[in-house]
Structure 1
Amino acid sequence: MMSYQDQVSGIAAELEEILDLDDLEAKVYLNLLRAGPITASALAKELDIDRARMYRTVDKLVSRNIISTTLSSPKLCIASDPHDALKIALSKKEDEVNKIKKSGEAIIHKINNEITTNQSSNVPTFRIVQGRQNIYADIAQIIENATDVIYIATTLDDVSRMYHSTIPEKISICEKNGGRVRLLVDMNDPKLAPFVKRFNATETRVGNLPSKGRMVVQKSQKMIMSDSAVSAKNSNSDSDFSLCTNSSEMVDNIFTLCTYLWESSKPLKTIDVKNFVKKSRVV
């Protein structure tokens, strides 16, 4: 059974993704929900954080309407209701999407008509992607456009974070296009099987991975690979780096490795994926 501290850490990690917070911001928000109105100074002492850093964090959260402060002296910090915080996050994302939709097509039209491009699609490319959101966006794009097998080999922490991205939705699109997403995860506790199943991969297997990194690969197409997927203990999303390449030699080698790992792993068949997801949404 998970300890209270482990449960709090897990919730904090999920909040980081949903509300776009860093590790400290998520901890501040959760502690305010638990403790109720409290001064920034007292909160800094409770979390063993430098007061100046705490004041900066509070100011940032106040500006985003995730917490508020009183007019009293000293000021008390008050956490927004979780439902209100979620609405604020959704509204922000919707505004960003609408902005891209409105201006994106116009920019593409200008590029196609005013700028001469000379791109060679046969040249292997390499790039380093920084930031978990950027990495997950690249993974989602690969999955959405796939019509064959894609391997995702990663840690349990990484799966929990991907669940709150658009990746599960892209898996459904991939399957409609004839593709399959094979999730390979290193999981020591059988009780976490339902947690892994809710990710809704086409197939899921449990096995020993060669590292704590992340491998996402589509044969002869692209791959995204990280030396170490960021864990819950080091959950700063900006510290997550991945190599993205379409080099056929590297892609095929990693695909072969994932195929070998897949064949030597065990299927996860404790529950039916689709029914579990439907029941979870109802609850």
Structure 2
Amino acid sequence: MKIQFVQGEVAPAAYTEDFYGGIDIYIYEGVGREVPGLERRAADLLELYGLSEREALVLLHIVKRGSSSAGEIAKALQLRRVEAYKLVKKLAEDNLIHASAGKPVTYSSQPLESFITTITGAQMQKLKGMEMAKEELITLSRNLPRSHSKASNQQFRMIQGREQIYGHLGRMVRGAAKSVDLILTRSDLALSHVVGLTDSLNQAADRGTKVRLISRVDESTMEAAEGLSNRCELRHSNVTTLGRLSVADTSQTLISLVLDKSLGKRNAKDVAIWSDSGDFAGMMGSLFDTAYRASVPRQGKLRVVGAPEETAE
């Protein structure tokens, strides 16, 4: 005797059936009793027509018995009564079985031949419709407007030369609506009024854009620092000589290395990378926030730098 377990629990055999010279017994999914081989094969075939395994077994039971109540089905298939009621309700909604009033309510089925013919006809009609729509659908798909993901539209651009970098910084500041975060070298701050960056920052602050700036505030940059509006939040840091960083509206970023520390705006060695990647801007914005918290407010720094020297009596 051959026994096959099919996602179920072993239960006492209800009955067995001679199948191709042997006894095949199946322990079927969710069903407490053993399922004979022929019934198992019929259930497998019914799954091709859209029934679940347990629905197929319930339908086969009703076909064999002619009619049966939910309680009888539960007992015969060793199902929980609640599960049996759910299964017959689903089969009835699909018009595969019909309920007859009485105590208890019994269920009967149309011949399987009628069921198979109806389902096969519906599927063939559906397949015919799919074949008819095939060419039109292919044509429509080729003519659909193509949209690209946000990530594929993100740009990274290299900018060569200090004057070009200053020009791009100015455009970022003038175009910012919500916020501008800047880290400038000491030379950048000293030249800011010459290259027009001071005016751009003051105008941005006047129109309500939040402007935060970190640079080195000392004797060489004090005049430029005092030229910035009080609405511009300037802070002092000693760690601003290696490069520049600008984040505008958390959507654009410019990061630059200073390869030549000489003064002057006409320097071809400086290189910057600009991007409109939101993810990159967010990462650089976090870096700026860390540096901003570690810096010193400009008010106190300017007082220290501008304090008159005491004269000895």
TM, length-normalised to structure 2: 0.44
* Structure number with bigger Rg: 2
Whose helix proportion is higher, 1 or 2? 1
Q: Which has the higher contact order (CA 8 A, sep 6+)?
A: 1
TM, length-normalised to structure 1: 0.48
Whose strand proportion is higher, 1 or 2? 2
